[in-house]
Amino acid sequence: VIFKHKAFDELCRLGLTAEAEAAVRAEYPSETGMLVVDQCLKSGPADALLEPGDILLKVAGASCTTFLPLEA
């Protein structure tokens, strides 16, 4: 999967709810956006699970807004 970091205004256009945005902003007040699926490789581990435009909300139960926690 290839992710891109997108600003909150773009995320709202992709379907991020106001409640989800408020929760992320409360947890990470300095964040300007979140990660979004840009490409999903066919036959890869996330094929049929993720698709372009999906917003990454949590990984292993923890909020994830940047690449460093995702990599960890």
DSSP letters for 7-69: EHHHHHHHT--HHHHHHHHHH-TT--EEEEEEE--TTSTTBTTB-TT-B--EETTEE--SHHH
Single pTM value for the model = 0.88
pLDDT for the residue 54: 95
Which of 33, 65, 35 has its CA nearest to residue 52?
35
pLDDT for the residue 31: 93
Tell me which residues of the chain have a pLDDT lower than 50: none
pLDDT for the residue 19: 95
Per-residue tokens: 19: 């409640």
pLDDT for the residue 65: 93
Per-residue tokens: 20: 């989800």
